[in-house]
Every structure is written in structure tokens, then in C-alpha cells.
Chain A
Amino acid sequence: MKERVSKMTRYEVKKVFAKTSSKIAVMLLLFVMGITCFFALDITYVDENGSTREGLAAVSGLKAAQKEWAGCLDEEKIRKVIAENRRIQNTPEALAQDITQKEIAYSWGQGIKEIRNLLNCAYAKGLREYDYYLADSLTEEDAADFYRNRTRLLREWLEGEAKDQFTDEEKEYLIGQYGRMDTPLYYDYMEGWQQLFKFAPTVVMLTMLILGYLVAGIFSNEFAWRSDAVLFSSFYGRNKAVTSKIKAGFCVVTAVYSAVFTIYTGIVLLYLGTDGWNLPIQSSWISWKCFYNITNLQKYLFIIGGGYVGCLFLSFLSMLVSVKTRSAVPAVMVPVLVIFIPSFIANIGSPFVNKIIGLLPDQLLQAGEALNYFNLYSVGGRITGELPVILILYTILTIVILPVLYQTYRRMQIG
């Protein structure tokens, strides 16, 4: 029995990939993946002569420069970075008008580039402000306030601009989360992870669009090909054959998604290195304000996991639409609409709308970005961020879609 079912599933998968248009879609995915990887690996390093290096030479140059400053970001280290930055900014090369001289000055600061960005965040006038040149105006005496400022800026924001956006419990939760960050942070080279995070939403969304196309026809092509009559008049046509289609959808999503992320992760990390996998995400200025206390690896797992749940949910939703409409065309549009419509609603900008937007499935496709949002939800009396909520919510919704999909398809009448 099992053998027959898996055989059916294999043929269902074969139906998907045997189509010329599917082959083109997969080729397109690989092509755009290639371009994305090209951009992700596009690292530059300026040497002591002011010449720009690219490729592996740039990676090793940048790595060596940043490794020189690796270690705990304690007060002493912050003090040294502030001093070094000021020293560089006051050199004749930095003050010169000549581009090459400026590039030479820039080359000296590449080792502390990321810490300099952290300083810009930590000493900003407000939580949501950023001034690229702020670090240049700091003195060594400011070093002591580095971590304190983070919580202070949050408090000021919660009491000012965002005072009506959160309940008192939510405010306490955020401050508590900030307080739970392990200090001092550790600094190290982590370009591999930063580049992975940067291009992951593009990879997930692109994969979703292609998956949407691939799975949209699993059910509805039976109508388009007019093979529905033979299918539904067969012994397993209204039970196991339907299950095998659902399994095929699951297999296609899982296989394509896994392949894409194995290739993407493998290429980027092999090229740029895995250093920094266990560092807190706040070690990078992009996540300095983030209230989730997780490491780079954990963040990446959230991105992969969120993307996978999002792809599964949207794929099965597409399949359901294709069954209801008996056509793959509206089904293909589902991921497109889900990805692009929230960006229009987002412009409204009210806190309530933000909470709703935070629960939309597109957030799963950009889980790395979602980690930076201050969207909080109270679930069973416990306050939590949006990512755990949508991960659980859409896992449940995906499971709920399956029996609906099964029952709707098996009851189809062929007139």
C-alpha cells in the first residue's frame, strides 16, 4: 500500500517538473540565485595604498583587519575605538581633498567599521535616529555610557514618541529584554552572516514566487489537461490520489526550498566564512536595537524557518485557490498579492495597522527584518514579539488548510 502511495507521489512530483514551463521556472530561479549570490559576495577592501580590492583578496583583507579588533566590547575597547577613530579622522590623509588620500584613511578604519556604526547607534539623539558622522565627535569619556545609552534611548522613546503604542506591560517587557542582553558584547569578523541576512529576503521571496508557480497546477492541471475524468473515476481518485497531490506539494516546496538555501548558504559562508556564528545579533549595528536576544546562527535559523513556514502556507493556499477556481492562474497570483499588498498598507503607519501587518504571512518571508520590528502581542497573558506568534500561527493555518484542500478536491464533480 505504502509503495503505491509513494509511487503516486513520485508521479505527481514528476508531473510538476516534466512541464517545460516548470523547467524554465527552475532555470530562472537558479539564474536569479546566481545573481543574488554574486551581489552577496561583492565585498570590497581598500588596501594601505588606497586601492580597492575585490574577491577573495578583499575577504582576507577585511577579515584580517577586523580580527585585529576582535574581543569583548568593554569600556576599554570602546575607548580605544573612539580614540582610533578620532586619530584616523585627524590624519592629513583623512583631511585631504584627494580621493586616494581619503581612501588610504578609510583603509585604516576598516577594522573598526562595524564598531563605529554601533557607536553611531548607541550615542544617537533618539532610538530611531542615525548620524553617520556622530562617532567622529565622541571622546574617550563617552565610552562608559555605551550600553547604558541603549536602554536609555529605548526608555526615552517609550515615554515619548511611542508612549501610546504600547501598554505598560509591553514597555516593561521591552526594557526587560534590553536588560537581558549579555554585556559586554563580543566583536569579531562576521561578514558572512551579515551578507546572508542582507539578501535572504530576496532569496525567500523569489523562491516563493517560483514555488507558487510550480505548485499552482498540482490540482488544477487535471482540469486543464482534462485528465480529471480518469482521475476521479479511479479507485484511489477521491482519496489516496488527493493525498499524494498534497504530499507532492509538500515535497516540491521542501525540496526546492532546501536546495535553494543549501546552495545560497553554502556559497556565501564558504566564500565569506562562518566566523561570528555565535555572536549576539546586537554585535552588528543593523540589529543593535533588536529586543530578541539571539545569536547570528539563531537569527539565520529564524529566517530559514520563517521562510519555510511562509512558503508552505502560501503554497498550500495557492493550491486551495487553484482547486476552488479550477485554474492555476489565480493561484499563481496568491504569493504575488501576499508579498506586495502589505507594502501598500504599511504606508498608513498607525500602530494598530502595524500590529495587523505584523501578522501577515509576508513577514515570514522576511523574518530577518521582522526581528527588528517592535510589534508585540499578548498570547495567553504572555507578551512576545511577532516572529514566534506568526511562526506558530501559520504552522497551525497550514495544517488547517490541508483537510480543507483534501475535502474540497475529493468532492469535485466533473460535469
Chain B
Amino acid sequence: MELKLTNLTKEFKDITAVRNISYTMSTGVYGLLGVNGAGKTTLMRMLCTLLKPSGGSITWNGADIFEMDGEYRKILGYLPQDFGFYPDFTVYDYLMYTASIKGLRPVTAKQRIKILLRQVGMEKTAHKKMKKLSGGMKRRVGIAQAMLGNPQILILDEPTAGLDPSERVRFRNLISELADERLVLLSTHIVSDIEYIAGEILLMKAGEIRAAGTSRELIAEMPEQVWSVAAAKEEIDFYMQAYKVSNIKTTRQGAELRIISSDKPAECAVLEEATLEDLFLDYFGERTGEQNDEI
């Protein structure tokens, strides 16, 4: 089971959204981490055969996925970032229709839907119209549709975007449950999601994979160190401008700053253990946000 990307490139009119990516994935959970516009969605859409690459190739067990056509899509489950649905369909009808386009026989579809609705906690809302569901419920239906064909490859684009904290935790657990014996690729800009679920993390920036590895490996390879500095109120601005500050905690005397730097920023600075969030900030600087666009 091997999904191989070789020199994968996608160019739009005047931008290169994905640049020369080569990477191989097999069973396990892969987390694609990057800021808005890093090219995560474009990469995922190519992996789902929704977009054709401008260059390079994607192969599944040695076969080009675009040549495999339906045979590749048969083993694929996809939850898009902006998950669309048929507003006037009930949850059950939506899943039955999706099952039919995924090639499931009606009898199998009914059984599978029953199991998945239980798994995502939507049994009682099966006959509710899709347009009447909350954001979290829609996402749960989204994951259920992605899992309908029991796919070997599960691609989840920003699965936790817009969810409240409890829904997000619930969703993370659900993904972990579903990750067994398949390749799961999930993109997010929320570090904690990746930290909890992903075995392998891919840091994507400006269309390229800048680093890849487990959380521990990536942190160990981090070129800079993390320091804790107790600063007076009047010093905060100085540190903010001079260093990458990953956290500011206000105290009675001023603030406790978490600084990413290769040099010791102050005499009183104490070396701290780096986290994935520090790593994210180190790679992507200040560019963090709540929304992911679709380059």
C-alpha cells in the first residue's frame, strides 16, 4: 500500500500552488500542516483526482491514479474543506445517494450507513434534512460519507475547521478510531489536531513540503531553541520585535515570554522543551489564522 508523489507540481495562471513535491505515504495518519495558501487543498484535490497536476505524477501501488480512474476512486474517501451537500435531502438519503455513486449495492449501503451513523453519533438525526444540521453535525455526516466505501485512503481537508472545542475533540477521537489499517491524510492549520492524531507530520509552505517526520523528530531537528524569559512590561515590545514570540503570559511583574531563538535572548532566559506549536511558529512565523483558503 503505497501512495507516491513524484515531482508533483500544480500551476495556475500566475501562481505555482504546489511545487515539485516528492513524497511517499503508506498506512498511518499523515498530518499536513501549513498556513493559509500553503497549497494543502490543491495537493489534496490532486490526490482526489479533482485536479490534474501540471507536472509530476501520483501513483498508487505503482499505477498512475489518473489512469486508474474509477478503480482508484473506489479506494478513496474524501472530506473536502467546504463540504457541500444536498440541502433538501435527509441525512439518510444523502448517504444512500453517496453510497450509490461510490458503487455500493443498496443492501450493503444500508448496513454500512447504519454502522457509520452509530459511529458518528447521528443515528437519531438520520431523517433530518441536511440543511437543518449544525456545523458539527454536517462535518460528522461528511466523515460518514467519506467512510462509506470503507476506503484504503482517507483524505480529510481541514476536518475540524469551524468546530467548537468539544466537537473538535470528539472529531479527533473519531478520526483516530477510523485510522486503523488505512492511509489517512488530514490537513489543518490547527497544531493540536495534528499533535494528537498524526503519526507523520508534513510541514507545507509556499507549495513545498519543507519538513516531514514524527512530531518528536521534527522538534528534535528544529534549528532554533525555545526560551522562557521573564520580562518587565516595558521590555515586551522589544522582545516582540527582535524575536519570534510563541506565547505571552501576563504576570504581576510584567510577562513571561516564550521565545524561539538560536541565541539566548536574555541573561535570565531559561531553556524550555520545544513543542509542535513552537515548531509551527518557527517555520511559519507570525502567519497564523483561523481560515484556510483554497489555492
Contact = CB atoms under 8 A, between A and B. Distances in A.
Nearest to B81: A229
B84 A226 contact: yes
B52 A233 contact: no
A139 to B, nearest CB: 71
A243 to B, nearest CB: 11
A230 B100 CA distance: 12
Contacts of B93: 11, 14
B50 A234 contact: no
Contacts of B85: 225, 227
B89 A15 contact: yes
B83 interface: yes
A234 B82 contact: no
B100 A229 contact: no
Interface in B86-111: 86-89, 93, 96-98, 100-106
B106 to A, nearest CB: 6
B86 A15 contact: yes
Contacts of B97: 8, 11
Chain A CB within 10 A, most for which of B78, B102, B105: B102
Contact of A11 (B50, B87, B100, B103): B100
A228 interface: yes
Contacts of A18: 86, 88-89
Contacts of A225: 84-87
Interface stretch (B56-64, B66-74, B115-123): B66-74
Contacts of B149: 235
B128 interface: no
Nearest to A11: B97
A80 B180 CA distance: 96
A19 interface: yes
Interface size class of B (residues with CB under 8 A): 35 or more
Given A4-B105, A225-B85, A413-B51, A230 B98 contact: yes
A414 B45 contact: yes
B152 to A, nearest CB: 13
A234 B84 contact: no
Given A4-B103, A11-B96, A226-B82, A233 B76 contact: yes
Nearest to A228: B84
B106 A414 contact: no
Contacts of B87: 225
Given A237-B73, A413-B50, A415-B45, A229 B102 contact: no
A231 interface: yes
A229 B101 contact: no
B51 A231 contact: no
A241 interface: yes
A102 interface: no
A232 interface: yes
A239 interface: yes
A261 B271 CA distance: 84
B50 A233 contact: yes
Nearest to B78: A233
A237 B52 contact: no
Contacts of A7: 96, 100, 106
Ranked 6 nearest A-B pairs via Cβ: A226-B84, A18-B88, A227-B84, A414-B50, A229-B80, A235-B103
11 contacts: A4-B100, A4-B104, A4-B105, A7-B96, A8-B97, A8-B101, A15-B89, A229-B48, A229-B50, A234-B101, A235-B73
Interface of B: 12, 42, 45, 48-52, 69-70, 73-74, 76, 78, 80, 82-89, 93, 96-98, 100-106, 145, 149, 294
Given A18-B88, A235-B70, A235-B149, 11 more contacts: A3-B105, A4-B104, A14-B93, A15-B88, A19-B88, A225-B85, A226-B84, A227-B86, A228-B84, A234-B103, A414-B51
